[in-house]
């Protein structure tokens, strides 16, 4: 899709077998659908970057949460454009509704210092009408584990209060 309303005019179809794919190619290529001539061909694999052996690179990945479902990687690239060291931006999408963001993304930086600077600069900033959360990826795991244990403690306290009464 070019946007939520304009179709790009292409699709990928996975066939059950090579024979089915060859039959579709033979029977459907240059046929007419809704007054449009369609082209059917085998998908070409993405060109792979040549593997260059290098020293292990330390990942400095930042979690960006509380994103609106409309956000795309380009919006985050624009937001973080003034921040040095941005290596990649990836918005995570639902598998069931691929045009809808899952509400979070990951941004990789070339150094820990640059990632820390981005966290202090952008945590709590507004993007497309929502206040975003920015933290180290590892902190989200710790936060989730600590909130789970806090919930367990609350449940234990509530059940002991019930048994006391």
Taking only the tens of pLDDT, the chain with its 165 residues reads: 556 666 777 777 887 788 888 888 888 888 888 888 888 888 777 776 666 655 555 678 999 999 998 899 999 999 998 888 899 999 988 777 667 888 999 999 999 999 999 999 999 999 999 999 999 877 554 555 554 555 454 445 444 444 444
Q: Which residue has the tokens 């809808």?
A: 100
Rounded distance between C-alpha atoms, residue 89 and residue 87, angstroms: 7
Q: What pLDDT, on the 0 to 100 scale, is given for residue 77? A: 92
Dihedral sign computed on CA atoms, order 88, 91, 95, 98: negative
Q: Which residue has the tokens 């659908």?
A: 33
Reference 4, options 98, 67, 78; nearest CA is: 98
Domain 61-136: CATH superfamily is RRM (RNA recognition motif) domain (3.30.70.330)
Q: What is the pTM of this model?
A: 0.52
Q: Evaluate whether 115 touches 138 at the Cβ level (below 8 Å).
A: no
Show me where the domains of the chain are located: 11-44, 61-136
Reference 58, options 111, 122, 98; nearest CA is: 111
Q: Which residue has the tokens 């001539």?
A: 37
Q: What pLDDT, on the 0 to 100 scale, is given for residue 1? A: 57
Rounded distance between C-alpha atoms, residue 130 and residue 138, angstroms: 23
Burial 48-63 (b: 16+ CB within 10 A, else e): eeeeeeeeeeeebebb
Extended strands (E) in 17-74? 32-33, 36-37, 60-65
State how far Cα 63 lies from the chain centre.
Answer: 11
């Amino acid at each position: 899709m070019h946007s939520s309303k304009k179709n790009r005019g292409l699709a990928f179809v996975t066939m059950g077998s090579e024979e089915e794919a060859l039959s579709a190619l033979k029977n459907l290529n240059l046929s007419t659908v809704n007054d449009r001539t369609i082209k059917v061909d085998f998908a070409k694999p993405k060109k792979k970057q040549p593997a260059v052996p290098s020293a292990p690179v330390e990942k400095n990945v930042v979690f960006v949460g509380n994103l609106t479902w409309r956000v795309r990687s380009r919006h985050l690239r624009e937001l973080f454009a003034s921040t040095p060291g941005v290596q990649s931006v990836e918005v995570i999408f639902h598998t069931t509704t691929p045009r809808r963001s899952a509400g979070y993304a990951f941004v990789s930086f070339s150094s820990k210092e640059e990632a820390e600077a981005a966290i202090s600069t952008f945590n709590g900033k507004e993007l497309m009408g929502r206040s975003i959360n920015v933290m180290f990826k590892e902190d989200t795991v710790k936060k989730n584990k600590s909130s789970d244990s806090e919930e367990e403690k609350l449940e234990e306290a509530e059940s002991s209060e019930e048994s006391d009464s």
